[in-house]
Chains A and B, each alone.
Chain A
Amino acid sequence: MEATEIGLWGVPLAILGGAIRVSTPFIFVSLGEAITERSGRINLGLEGTLVFGAMTAYAMAVMTGSPWLGLMAAATAGLCFGLFHGWICKFPGVNDIAIGIALMLLGSGLAFFFGKPFIQPSAPDLPAIPFGGWSDIPQVQAALNVNVLFLIGAALAVFLWWAFRNTRAGLILRVVGDSSDAARAMGLDPNMVRLIATGVGGALAGIGGGYLSLYYPGSWTERISSGQGLMAVALVIFARWNPLGCFAAALLFGGAGALGPALQSVGITQGYYLFYAAPYILTLIIMIATSSPGRSLAGAPGELSITK
């Protein structure tokens, strides 16, 4: 391996590159979940949406030859899952967390069911922009080969951060999330707002899934997601429902996920599986550190069942 030429510098470089590569699905899922949770519902089913989105994007890209059509199909599929969650949760007695768990199961099941024929063929990848062209070192070039979806995700985070504060839609979303009663008093229909918010959240998670199968790791297998959709939900809490925080946290998680492979590339293989667990351990530690009994989380939407 050429990693030895630049020695241990390869580790932070690989982590940086890995953070950019691995974090993109986190960015989309967590931004989607941030919109949903801001409306006062939690959708744990995004894990299933992610897997189904990955399958749909790959299948569509194989059949049409266009990764962008694949991505649109994934977003549409995610929208359907989100709308279903948003619709079914409006009935009294139906628990949004439990429905999320069920959708996780159903989404993965449907993805494996329809995805079986697409495990073999290869689909065209999403394009990446080589920002590392100025350097001769292949590791630098690899690390700075940034996919366009990462840039779109970054722009989306800034836009949502702005939109939550400064637009009418953002205000409506926050009112509904903080108090159904206040929203009704304003003449808003909380169920309709939540339906739309969950649908948009699902569509973004579908795009995150499309990134998984069309860029990195870049193929469709039944093991494509290992809890990214779920970690993204925890990440939103850590980010205090702030889109910019979601973006930063996603980068952090991506970096943690890249730790194992980065160390492996310089020959450190001891405890590989423990490094593999780093993102989960990091998530757990952050959740423990940021939660506290007796007071609700700062910035938490008042209607959110997970913080009650």
Chain B
Amino acid sequence: MADTVSSADAPAVFGAKGYPAALEWIARRAEAFVIPLAALIVGMVLFSLFIALVGKSPVQLYETMWRGGFGSWFSIQNSLSRGAPLLLAALCVALPARLGLVVIGGEGAIVLGGVAAAATGVALSGAASFIVILAMGVAGMAAGGIWIGAVGALRHYRAVNETISSLLMAYIAIALMNHLVEGPLRDPASLNKPSTQPLADAYRIGNIPGMEVHWGLVVGIVACILSWLLIEKTRWGFAARIAGGNVRAAQVQGLAVGPLIVGFTALAGGFAGLAGMLEVGAVQGSANASLAAGYGYTGILVAFLARHNPLAIIPVAILLGGINASGGLIQRRMDLPDATVLVLQGMLFIVILFSETFYGRFKAFNPDLWKKGA
């Protein structure tokens, strides 16, 4: 499992004889761009074949997809809004992945983070809006962090498989949300769609000035950058990468693997919980069943496409946000089911995973092989 999540290329320290060091530097890094990009293209070609087989025009489909996702300022803003929660949901997969864990239950943390934030916002009504929004964020992060942190703790201290347990926890979280939203926390005024009491307008999260995109996008991008710094530039990130490569080696080196796993999974869940809080604070205005909109599952795809690199998550999340945003237009214009987008995502996912087998196989990306003159 570890080999799929560790980044392979070591920094080039000295130039090879006969080749400029810069060329070598580029070659070593090109692999991480060229292979995913090629996989993305292959996935889209396969999807074109699928669309052609069901008797529709792939050209028209991609054109519609472009128009729905990125063709106008309106659709770009729509894509960015949909990409915002994906940034945080993808971090919930990417951070544990650096430790070699496959956590796929981010949906549960999103849902509970949203409920916790909504309950906090209602409980503190009357306080200054800055304090309430901050408290909502903390509550959302805490709920999500405890949920996924528990998955990490079970993994390390009880050897419970994290992939299955996180998904089971997601189903439990959704049931818990339904229970709370239809029972103890229900707003009696919400008849058709059981919800918590609506947040006062002062506690709603607004839009970025000049855009129809809420502040969640900025929060998500900042979270991605911070996560990248954490993994690449701090000693905890360094320790996590070692543990992700080989747990035994990390333990021999005296690294506290347990706290590391619990800390990383809790932070990952905290980010997903924050996504839930933003959905409540900026989009829904209260916690209800719409929180389980599948962002947690699309986030898995985003993280794998980005190869668990937090900086790469930013463009990939916005791309997937655009693909999701175009789903409605594809349905209306081309008379295709809304699941078309899901099929595309599934195909991209499989091609990306398949592309893992090509890393380290091409001579062009490996200057060490040039020197041998083979």
Contacts and interface: CB of A to CB of B under 8 A. Distances in A.
Given A94-B356, A103-B350, A274-B175, A113 B339 contact: yes
A91 interface: yes
A284 interface: yes
A293 B168 CA distance: 20
Chain A interface SS verdict (over half): helix
B340 A113 contact: yes
B171 A116 contact: no
Interface string B336-351: 1111101111110110
Contacts of A106: 343, 346-347, 349-350
Contacts of A7: none
B167 interface: yes
Given A94-B356, A277-B175, A284-B165, A110 B346 contact: yes
A274 B338 CA distance: 31
A230 B164 contact: yes
Contacts of A272: 179
Interface in A37-57: 44
Contacts of B346: 102-103, 105-110
Contacts of A98: 4, 102, 304, 353
A90 to B, nearest CB: 10
Given A97-B102, A105-B342, A231-B168, A277 B176 contact: yes
Contacts of A226: 171
A93 B345 contact: no
Nearest to A283: B168
Nearest to A279: B171
B3 interface: yes
B359 interface: yes
Interface string A100-142: 0111011111111100100000000000000000000000000
B10 interface: no
A88 B347 CA distance: 13
Interface residues of B, number: 49
A291 B350 contact: no
A287 B172 contact: no
A288 B164 CA distance: 11
Contact of A281 (B172, B336, B344, B353): B172
B349 A105 contact: yes
B357 A280 contact: no
A271 interface: yes
Contacts of B139: none
A155 interface: no
Nearest to A92: B357
B337 A113 contact: yes
B262 to A, nearest CB: 14
A104 to B, nearest CB: 8
A233 B161 CA distance: 11
Cβ-closest 10 pairs across A and B? A106-B346, A109-B342, A112-B339, A277-B175, A102-B349, A273-B179, A273-B178, A91-B357, A109-B343, A105-B346
Interface of B: 1, 3-4, 102, 104, 154, 156-161, 163-165, 167-169, 171-172, 175-176, 178-179, 182-183, 297, 300-301, 304, 336-340, 342-347, 349-350, 353-354, 356-359
Interface of A: 44, 88, 91-95, 97-99, 101-103, 105-113, 116, 226-227, 230-231, 233-234, 237, 271-274, 276-277, 280-281, 283-284, 287-288, 291-294, 305-306
18 contacts: A44-B163, A93-B357, A93-B358, A97-B102, A102-B349, A103-B346, A105-B342, A105-B349, A108-B339, A108-B346, A109-B344, A109-B346, A227-B167, A227-B168, A273-B175, A280-B172, A291-B158, A293-B158
